[in-house]
Chains A and B, each alone.
Chain A
Amino acid sequence: MTLDTAAPAPEANASGAGRRRSFKPRYPAWLALPSLAYQIFFFLGAMSILVVFSFATQTGFNEITYGFSLEQYKAVLDPTYLGIFVRTLAMAAGGTLLTVIIGYPVAYWMARYLGDKKLIALLLIIVPFWTSFLIRTYALKIILDSNGFVGQTLHLDLMYSAWAVGIGLVYNYLPLFILPVFSSLERMDWTLIEAANDLSAKPFSAFRQVTLPLTLPGFVTGALLVFIPMTGEYVVPAILGGGKYVFIGNVIGDAFNSAQNPPFGSALAISLMLALSIFVALYILVATKEERFGS
C-alpha cells in the first residue's frame, strides 16, 4: 500500500500560490478492484444472462433453446401484460405522490421546529423500520380486515382493494422518503426564510422560491428511493391486493416459479427496467428543469 503524491514536489509550490496543498495523500486505486470485480462478475454477469435468456425460447420442461428470438418481447406487448405494466407504473407513481404529500411536511417539521428533540423523532421513524416489513404488512392486513376495527366501526371495506395496496406501499416506503429529505432540510439556512419574510414574501412563495430549490436534491433522491422499489414491489400486492392488483414483479416471479417460463420472465424483467429508465429520465429532466433555467 502506498500513498501517491499526486501534486508536484513541495518546493515547486512553496513560492507560488501558498494556499495550494503540497501533496494530496491518496489511498491506492487498486483497493477498488475487489469490489469492481465482484460487481462485474455477480451483477453484470447475472444481468447479461438475463438478457440472453430473454432472447431464448422455452422448448420444454426445464429446456431452453438459446437464439435471438423476439417471441418473448412480443408476448410482453400483449394487452394483458401492457395493462399490468401501466397499473404498476401508475400505482407506483400514485404511491410516490402520496408518500411525498404525507412525508414532506413531517421532514419539514422535524428540521425546522424540533431543535434538540430531532433524535427522538428520527428514532420514532426508524424503529418501526426495524420490525420485519412482512409483519408490518400483516399487521396492516389485520387493521384493514373487513371483520376488524376499521371494517366494523367505520364500515370501510378496504381489504384487497387498490387502496389497501396503496396504503401498504406508502407505509413501507415513507421512512425512505422522510430521511433524505430531512437531512437536506436540516442543512438549510433558515435565516434565508426570515429574509424572504422580511422582504414580504408569503410563506408559500418563500417555500417555493427558497426552501424547495435548496432542498431539491434531497427531494429528488427521496422520491426516486421510493418510486423505484415500488415499481418492483412483490410482497405488498400479493398480501394486501389478494391477487386482484398484481404488479409486474408478481408476474415476473410467477414466470419463474409456477409458470416455468424463465425466458418470458426475463423479457418482462428487461422491459420493466426499460420502462423504469424512461420514467426516471423524464422525472429527473422535469424535476431539475427549474433549477437549470434558474442558474
Chain B
Amino acid sequence: MARNSNRSKTGFSVWAVLVFIFLWLPIAVMVLFAFNQPSASSLASNPGVDPCSLPATQIGNVSVWNGFTTCWFPAALHDPTYIPAIITSAQIAFIAAAVSVVLGLMAALALARMKPRARIPFDILVYLTLVVPEIVIAVASLIFFVQAHNAVPFFPQLGFWTIVLGQIVFNSSLTMLIIRARFVGMGDTLEEAAFDLGAGPLATFRQVTLPRLMPAVFSAFLLSFTFSFDDYVLPAFTNGTTNTWPIVLYSAVRFGITPAVNALATMMLLLTVAAIVITVVIMRRSRGGSTDGVAKNFAALGV
C-alpha cells in the first residue's frame, strides 16, 4: 500500500512539473526573444544603423532566433507609444480598482449579514456581471456610452473615462465577492463586543471591521488592478482614441512586433517578481516565519 501511494505521488509530481514547464515556457521565450536581433538580411541592408531603431516593418522575421543584442531595452524605454500607453493603463486600472474596492466593500458590509431573501436579487445581478462574456459587455457598453453621450452632453465621450466606467461593472462585483467571503468567514463576535463596549458603528468599522478585512481589501484591489491593466476586449471597444497598453500590444502582435515589446514585458515581470518577494518576506517576518497565512492570502486571489 505504501509503495503504491509513493508511486502515485511520483506520478502526480511528474505531471505537475510538466504543467509548470508548460506555464513558464512562453515566459522564458518572451524573455529570450527580448534579446533577439533583427534578421540577417535586415542588418545587411541597414549597415551602420542602430538595429534597434529600425521600425517593425524593416526588422524581418523576429519570431525566429537571429542573434543576441541588448539594445531593445533602452529602445523600449524611449519608445513614443509604449511608455505613455503603460502609464494610461496603470491610471485606468488604479482608478477602476479604487472605486471598485469602495463600492465592493460597502456592498459586502451591507449584504453579508442580510437575510438571503433580500440579498438574492443583488446576488443574481452580481453573478450576471461576472458570467456574461466580456465581448457581450464590451459591445453593449459601446452602444450605451455612445447613446448616453448623445443624449446627455456631459456624459464622457468614448475614451479614458468610459474604459474606467465599463471596467467598474465587472471589478466591483469581483471585489464585493472577495471582501464578503472574508467578512462572512470571520464572524461578528468582535463587532458585537465593540458595540457592547459602546463604540458607534463608524468607530466599530474603523477600529474593528476594517483592520481585519484589510487582507481581503488588499487582495481585491490587487486582483481588480491586474484585471483592468491586462484587459483588452472592453477597452478595445470603448476606448475612442485612447491607447492602453493591451491595445498597443494587440496591434503590435497583429501588424508587426519588435523585441522592444518583449523587453518591456520582461522589465515588468522583474518588477512584479521583486514586489512579490518583498511582500512575502515582509509578511513572513510579521507572522513569525509562518507562510501558511501568506499562502492563504495568495489563494484568496484566485477565488
**CB 8 Å contact bits of B21-44 with A (1 = contact, 0 = none):** 011111101100100000000000
Closest approach, in angstroms, between the C-beta of A151 and any C-beta of chain B?
9
> Given A31-B106, A124-B20, A134-B250, does the pair A105, B125 have CB atoms closer than 8 Å?
no
Which residues of B167-226 are within 8 A (CB) of A?
A: 168-169, 172-173, 176, 188, 191-192, 194-195, 200-202, 204-205, 226
CB pair B201–A228 under 8 Å, yes or no, is no
Assembly CA distance A280 to B249 (angstroms): 33
> Given A35-B103, A106-B19, does the pair A136, B140 have CB atoms closer than 8 Å?
no
Asked if B137 is at the interface of the complex by the 8 Å CB criterion, the answer is yes
CB pair A136–B27 under 8 Å, yes or no, is yes
Assembly CA distance A134 to B249 (angstroms): 7
Which of B70-78, B90-98, B253-261 is the interface stretch?
B253-261
CB pair B111–A239 under 8 Å, yes or no, is no
Chain B count of residues within 8 A CB distance of the other chain: 100
Asked if B46 is at the interface of the complex by the 8 Å CB criterion, the answer is no
Q: Collect the chain A residues with CB atoms within 8 Å of residue B147's CB.
A: 49
Asked if B302 is at the interface of the complex by the 8 Å CB criterion, the answer is yes
Which residues of A8-51 are within 8 A (CB) of B?
A: 21-32, 34-36, 38-40, 42-47, 49-50
**CB 8 Å contact bits of A229-245 with B (1 = contact, 0 = none):** 10110110011000000
Q: Collect the chain B residues with CB atoms within 8 Å of residue A53's CB.
A: 143
Which of A75-83, A208-216, A269-277, A285-293 is the interface stretch?
A269-277
> Given A105-B16, A135-B261, A147-B61, does the pair A262, B143 have CB atoms closer than 8 Å?
yes
> Given A50-B139, A273-B132, does the pair A26, B113 have CB atoms closer than 8 Å?
yes
Which residues of A152-207 are within 8 A (CB) of B?
A: 171, 174-176, 178-180, 182-183, 186, 197, 203
Asked if A86 is at the interface of the complex by the 8 Å CB criterion, the answer is no
Asked if A127 is at the interface of the complex by the 8 Å CB criterion, the answer is yes
CB pair A109–B136 under 8 Å, yes or no, is no
* A203 CB contact (under 8 Å) in B4, B33, B298: B4
Asked if A278 is at the interface of the complex by the 8 Å CB criterion, the answer is no
CB pair B64–A147 under 8 Å, yes or no, is yes
Assembly CA distance A103 to B106 (angstroms): 35
Please give me the residue from chain B that is nearest to A232 by CB atom.
B133
CB pair B143–A130 under 8 Å, yes or no, is no
Closest approach, in angstroms, between the C-beta of B90 and any C-beta of chain A?
13
* B140 CB contact (under 8 Å) in A31, A50, A119, A121: A50
CB pair B107–A32 under 8 Å, yes or no, is yes
Q: Collect the chain A residues with CB atoms within 8 Å of residue B126's CB.
A: 39
What is B's interface to A at a CB cutoff of 8 Å?
Answer: 1, 4-5, 8-9, 12-13, 15-16, 19-20, 22-27, 29-30, 33, 61, 63-64, 103-104, 106-107, 109-111, 113-114, 118, 122, 125-126, 128-129, 131-137, 139-144, 147, 165-166, 168-169, 172-173, 176, 188, 191-192, 194-195, 200-202, 204-205, 226, 230, 232-233, 236-237, 245-246, 249-250, 253-254, 257, 261-262, 265, 268-269, 272-273, 276, 280, 291-292, 294-295, 298-299, 301-303
A-B complex: 10 closest residue pairs judged by Cβ atoms: A232-B133, A179-B302, A139-B26, A46-B144, A31-B110, A32-B110, A46-B140, A35-B107, A109-B12, A27-B109
* 19 chain-A/chain-B pairs, Cβ below 8 angstroms: A1-B200, A3-B204, A22-B192, A24-B188, A31-B106, A35-B103, A36-B122, A113-B13, A119-B294, A119-B298, A122-B298, A126-B301, A127-B269, A132-B268, A135-B265, A136-B27, A148-B64, A203-B4, A203-B5
What is A's interface to B at a CB cutoff of 8 Å?
Answer: 1-3, 21-32, 34-36, 38-40, 42-47, 49-50, 53, 102-103, 105-106, 108-110, 112-113, 116, 118-119, 121-143, 145, 147-148, 171, 174-176, 178-180, 182-183, 186, 197, 203, 221, 224, 228-229, 231-232, 234-235, 238-239, 249, 252-253, 256, 262, 265-266, 269, 272-273, 276, 280
Known: A39-B126, A42-B169, A124-B23; 8 extra A-B contacts, CB below 8 A, are: A22-B192, A27-B113, A112-B12, A113-B13, A119-B294, A136-B26, A179-B303, A239-B254
